[in-house]
Structure 1
Amino acid sequence: MNPNTPEQSQLGKVSAYIDQYDSSLLFPLLRDTKRREIGIGGSIPFLGADLWTAFELSWLNPRGKPQVALAHITIPCESTHIVESKSFKLYLNSFNHTRFESADAVRERLKTDVSAAIWHGGAVMAGAGVKLLQPEAFDREVVRELHGLCIDRLDVECDRYQPAPELLSAALHEQPVSETLMSHLLKSNCLVTGQPDWGSVQIAYSGPQIDQAGLLRYIVSFRNHNEFHEQCVERIYMDIMSRCKPTKLMVYARYTRRGGLDINPWRSSHPQQPPANVRTARQ
């Protein structure tokens, strides 16, 4: 079977609105293609997941009455594939006029279909996690910013708008530190359509102290870069690990939603609890 490519997806194309359940709408993309570009071959050098939020999920109950919910979906980074986001939106639309016995039945269907897609026909080694929040729980959803020292305060000159890892440096011969830095100035573009993707990024590390001005200029350098969210975060992780030599590293980005979906990749050098899937004000 030939691998799917982003150009074969529905991105940037006129798409039919299908409101009857159809799992074939999910379009998997191989992770390995972009990972090879950043020096990842074989086993991946990090742990993590992609945390999705679906804000536009609806179906019919057995009596034909519409139901709504939010869905939190966790996709393990060790899966062989990601799901192209427009295809995921089209897939969710196919629930709109389909009857399900219960919210649990919807959750199980989502879990089964997404798990199959992210392994693209292979054995499911780690399934997707799915949690549905129904309307009675909506008022418990909070808005919270990423914590850490915001480096956006720095008055730096920026003139690089494609990823420039050479901007990164650290005090390799001084005492190590442990700190968490964050920025709201992450912007990249869709790999296929070139449309802007806006995000905030959090970097927690232990090791040689990272030069904050260089890190901020590096984050800004993604501004005209075309790559999917998951790929950008893995590129940031690998560049920091290579250039700054931390002993521990965590990179977490929260991107604003598009088409009722947000995607929030998280990568870590060491085992830890995934961050809570809590949206920021811009999301």
Structure 2
Amino acid sequence: MKFEQQLGHAPLGKSSEYPEKYDPSLLFPIARQIGRDYLSIQPHPTWVGEDIWRAFEVSWLNQKGKPQIAILTFTIPASSSHIIESKSFKLYLNSFNQEKMEWAELHHRLETDLSHAAGAQISIQREEAATPLAPTTSSPSLPTLNAISIDNLDVECSVYEPTASILKADSSRIVKETLISELLKSNCPVTSQPDWGTVVISYEGPAIDHAALLQYIVSFRGHNGFHEQCVEQIYCDILQQCKPHSLEVHARYTRRGGLDINPRRASPNFTPDSANADYSQRIRTPRQ
């Protein structure tokens, strides 16, 4: 089944009634291979990584009918067979709004249903919701990122569809560095609504031309693709054009519908700098 045909059955971009009862059938999986068939490297390179989904609008009732709230982080391995369409994820989470249960039961249902939909075991972490007037000490402090921002470079941009040939690297100079840009924008392949993100590229190998990299990131501005597929395409294009010895690409997309999505792909031999070791799992950008 082609990509467009499968998406034709997805709830994204359609009017939907919010569920009043728990309903795992709301989840709409999409085979990863459909998007990977379009990557510039076939078959796709061996990588490790995950998609981290953070849900800010999770609520259910305790046994007395009192609402409970939490922020949940879902980690879906990149090796899973399917991604989960984001609106179906949101509708599924909202199907718990009027359900009476303890946290342990909610956790079990979420883990079971989402692992079945993704085709791999997922993990779930809970962050207690708190207001600025009632801070909690249970949430760990978030680390900062040691990276070079390329956004202030004075470059001319005229290409707005991903073009790998823009990328350049100097094979005579071997470096290890982390680069960051907040100028990543792509569009939803169903609704064409903009998706805004921060992309972080860590690598060791021939020095990547920073200006060319920024132009390449900007070239996604007119591209229609899911978050996970954009990160995988960036990874493949850099690997093919710049020949790094090791590489990690991850993006931190801004929230939509109470969810933000943060895909990461890395070469199996990639080792982050000690200063950035916790970044991919724990950081939240100011825009998130």
Structure-1 residue corresponding to 2:33: 32
Counterparts in 2 of 1:85-104, with a 5 A limit?
85-100=86-101, 102-104=102-104
Q: For residues 138 and 108 of structure 1, what CA distance do their matches in structure 2 show? A: 25
Structure-1 residue corresponding to 2:175: 177
Structure-2 residue corresponding to 1:240: 238
Q: Secondary structure of 1:64's match?
A: coil
Task: Return the offset for 1:228.
Answer: 0.4
Counterparts in 2 of 1:129-168, with a 5 A limit?
129-135=123-129, 140=139, 146-168=145-167
What is the root-mean-square deviation in Å for CA atoms of aligned residues?
Answer: 2.1
Structure-2 residue corresponding to 1:20: 21
Task: Return the offset for 1:62.
Answer: 1.3
Q: Please tell me whether residue 277 in structure 1 is matched to residue 287 in structure 2.
A: no
Runs of 4+ in 1 over 6 A off after TM superposition: 1-4
Letter in 2 for 1:253: A
**Contact 1:72–1:130 under 8 Å retained in 2:** yes
Deviations 1:58-116 (A, max 9, x none): 0011111110001000000000100000000000010000111x212211211111100
Counterparts in 2 of 1:63-74, with a 5 A limit?
63-74=64-75
> TM-score, length-normalised on structure 1?
0.91
Structure-2 residue corresponding to 1:122: none
Task: Return the offset for 1:153.
Answer: 1.3
Q: For residues 164 and 243 of structure 1, what CA distance do their matches in structure 2 show? A: 11
Deviations 1:158-188 (A, max 9, x none): 001100111001012x031111101000000
Mean Cα deviation higher: 41-50 or 17-26? 41-50
Q: For residues 22 and 142 of structure 1, what CA distance do their matches in structure 2 show? A: 35
Letter in 2 for 1:19: E
Letter in 2 for 1:118: A
Q: Secondary structure of 2:12's match?
A: coil
Deviations 1:120-143 (A, max 9, x none): xxxxxx400101122368563656
Identical columns (%) = 51
Unaligned 5+ residue runs, structure 2? Answer: 272-276
Q: For residues 56 and 190 of structure 1, what CA distance do their matches in structure 2 show? A: 21
Q: Please tell me whether residue 58 in structure 1 is matched to residue 59 in structure 2.
A: yes
**Contact 1:69–1:133 under 8 Å retained in 2:** yes
Structure-1 residue corresponding to 2:274: none
Structure-2 residue corresponding to 1:45: 46
Task: Return the offset for 1:7.
Answer: 2.2
> TM-score, length-normalised on structure 2?
0.90
Unaligned 5+ residue runs, structure 1? Answer: 120-125
**Contact 2:45–2:236 under 8 Å retained in 1:** no
Mean Cα deviation higher: 5-14 or 23-32? 5-14
Distance verdict in 2 for CA 1:23–1:44, change over 3 Å: farther
Distance verdict in 2 for CA 1:237–1:43, change over 3 Å: closer
Letter in 2 for 1:130: I
**Contact 2:36–2:44 under 8 Å retained in 1:** no
Letter in 2 for 1:17: Y
**Contact 1:146–1:280 under 8 Å retained in 2:** no
Structure-2 residue corresponding to 1:123: none
Distance verdict in 2 for CA 1:31–1:20, change over 3 Å: same
Q: For residues 174 and 59 of structure 2, what CA distance do their matches in structure 1 show? A: 50
**Contact 1:203–1:249 under 8 Å retained in 2:** yes
Q: For residues 62 and 166 of structure 2, what CA distance do their matches in structure 1 show? A: 54
Q: Secondary structure of 1:171's match?
A: strand
Task: Return the offset for 1:278.
Answer: 2.4
Counterparts in 2 of 1:102-141, with a 5 A limit?
102-119=102-119, 126-135=120-129, 140=139
Task: Return the offset for 1:270.
Answer: 2.0
Mean Cα deviation higher: 32-41 or 85-94? 32-41
Q: Secondary structure of 2:37's match?
A: helix
